């Protein structure tokens, strides 16, 4: 894509009220815009990253047997009254229409999926099943100072699983936990993300959070780096450590962001909505449920927080908006630009996603913007390379550029996927 056709541009500064580093960088680099506290729009570059993350998550949800659907944002009040959360959930938005009738804006979807499942689950033969969605949630966050890590409006992948008994849930829960580990590895956070024991509620000792270490984190966790496990501060005590076989002296206190969580809901919601199934003997039993969430914007913001350097964003290759940032240094319409344009077309035909900096700007500005935007490979065509059959290639994470031929560049891109 031509950079001049992106609609958005890099900006000299973010709004003064933006205190989060993730949002400040993403706004300056042209990935998002802040509409109001806790509310952001995704510009074309930001949407490309979001879609890459979505596709990684979708493949993993499908791999554990999930099936995608899309639930509504408006929820009937009576469903929330039934579970007691109309009153108890502080951050639930309530909306009235002109007749004064109230509805909820969905903050989570147990109140929709559970009564919906009653239409389709009646027998053990209908179980297990695990619908999921990518959908916009609304939560009335009082402090919205964390950029896209904690929005009042945000896209979430939420999956809900339905089982005949606790054993079957446990099996699925473990499979999904492994799928989550693969997701956070694929988006580039594998090294800094820990399966973390947190409070479990009524139906199990623990829930599991996926916590990514970064100084921007709002959670405190205790990490055993060797065992690749952690414990959330909320359950951190001697009894829990003993139960988990962890030793105090192996644990380090860290700030972290919760990028995903999985939870045993037991029969909390199936009992509220009378969701039962008949077993082989014709006996009725409540369905056992689990839920599994990942906030996509939060995950995107966490990647920025965890990997950015002093020059700007650093995108992992799997989720980068483009693979290559192609920069010609030469006059508009001159030979260098023509050579760069030919290279752009060659890369595009080869299916390599390339952002072509066709702007009329100085070299310094182009380089600074490329570092800010954070595309994995910067490729420069200039008077220096013109006619040599080589181009200048620099990885965003490396300091030194290398002169490569087109074929060597392709080989390097392939290597990085091996």
* Interacting residues toward its own copies by CB under 8 A: 4-9, 11, 33, 35-36, 39-44, 46-47, 50, 65, 67-76, 90, 93, 95, 97-98, 103, 105, 112, 116, 119-120, 125, 129-131, 136, 138, 140, 142, 152-153
Specify the residue, 6 or 401, whose C-beta has the smaller distance to its own copies.
6
127 HSE (CA, 13 A, CB side): 29
Q: Which is nearer to its own copies, 90 or 310 (CB)?
A: 90
Residue closer to its own copies, measured from CB, 66 or 312:
66
Output the smallest distance, CB 295 to its own copies, in A: 15
Q: How far is the CB of 317 from its own copies (least distance, A)?
A: 22
How many CB atoms lie under 10 A from the CB of residue 165? 13
**CB 313, min distance to its own copies, A:** 18
Please list the residues that pair with 261 across neighbouring strands. Answer: 209, 293
Rank residues 110 and 224 by Cβ distance to its own copies and give the closer one: 110
Q: How far is CA 258 from the centre of its chain?
A: 11
- Comparison of 68 and 274: residue with beta carbon closer to its own copies: 68
Query: Shortest gap between Cβ of 318 and its own copies (angstroms)?
Result: 20
Evaluate whether 26 touches 301 at the Cβ level (below 8 Å). yes
Least Å distance, CB 355 to its own copies, is 12
What is the full DSSP assignment across 366-389?
HHHHHHHHT-SEEEEEETTTTTTT
What token pair was written down for 34?
């802040």
Contacts of 169 (CB under 8 A, 6+ apart): 128, 161, 163, 264, 288, 289, 290
Q: CB 329 → its own copies: shortest distance, Å?
A: 20
Instruction: Kindly state the smallest distance separating residue 35's Cβ from its own copies, in Å.
Output: 5
Nearer Cβ to its own copies (44/200):
44
Q: Which DSSP string corresponds to 165-207?
A: SHHHHHHHHHHHHHHHHHHHHHTT-GGGEEEEEEE--SS-SEE
Residue closer to its own copies, measured from CB, 21 or 152: 152
Distance of alpha carbon 96 from alpha carbon 99, whole angstroms: 8
For tokens 């479990």, name the residue: 200
């Amino acid at each position: 894509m031509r950079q001049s056709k992106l609609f958005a541009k890099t900006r000299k500064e973010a709004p003064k009220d933006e205190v989060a580093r993730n949002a400040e960088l993403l706004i300056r680099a042209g990935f998002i815009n802040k509409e109001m506290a806790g509310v952001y729009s995704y510009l074309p570059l930001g949407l490309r990253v979001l879609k890459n993350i979505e596709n990684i998550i979708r493949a993993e949800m499908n791999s554990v047997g999930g099936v995608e659907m899309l639930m509504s944002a408006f929820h009937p009040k009576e469903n929330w009254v039934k579970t007691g959360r109309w009153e108890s959930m502080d951050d639930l938005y309530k909306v009235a229409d002109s007749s004064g009738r109230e509805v909820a804006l969905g903050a989570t979807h147990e109140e929709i999926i559970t009564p919906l499942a009653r239409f389709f689950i009646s027998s053990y033969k209908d179980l297990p099943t695990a619908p999921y969605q990518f959908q916009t949630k609304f939560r009335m966050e009082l402090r919205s100072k964390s950029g896209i890590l904690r929005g009042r409006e945000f896209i979430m992948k939420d999956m809900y699983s339905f089982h005949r008994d606790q054993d079957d849930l446990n099996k699925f829960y473990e499979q999904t936990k492994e799928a989550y580990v693969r997701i956070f590895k694929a988006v580039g956070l594998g090294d800094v993300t820990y399966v973390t024991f947190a409070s479990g509620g009524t139906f199990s000792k623990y829930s599991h959070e996926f916590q990514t270490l970064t100084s921007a984190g709002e959670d405190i966790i205790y990490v055993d780096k060797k065992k690749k496990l952690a414990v959330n501060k909320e359950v951190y005590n001697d009894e829990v450590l003993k139960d988990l076989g962890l030793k105090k002296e192996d644990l380090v206190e860290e700030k972290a962001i919760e990028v995903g969580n999985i939870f045993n809901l037991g029969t909390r919601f199936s009992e509220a909505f009378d969701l039962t199934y008949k077993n082989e003997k014709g006996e009725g039993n409540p369905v056992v449920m689990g839920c599994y969430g990942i906030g996509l914007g939060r995950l995107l913001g966490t990647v920025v927080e965890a990997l950015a350097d002093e020059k700007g964003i650093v995108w992992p290759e799997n989720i980068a908006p483009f693979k290559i940032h192609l920069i010609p240094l030469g006059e508009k319409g001159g030979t260098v630009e023509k050579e760069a344009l030919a290279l752009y077309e060659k890369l595009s035909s080869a299916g390599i996603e390339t952002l072509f900096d066709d702007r009329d700007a100085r070299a310094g500005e182009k380089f600074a913007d490329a570092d800010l935007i954070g595309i994995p490979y910067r490729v420069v065509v200039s008077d220096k390379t013109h006619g040599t059959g080589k181009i200048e290639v620099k990885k965003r994470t490396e300091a030194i550029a290398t002169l490569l031929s087109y074929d060597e560049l392709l080989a390097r891109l392939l290597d990085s996927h091996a």
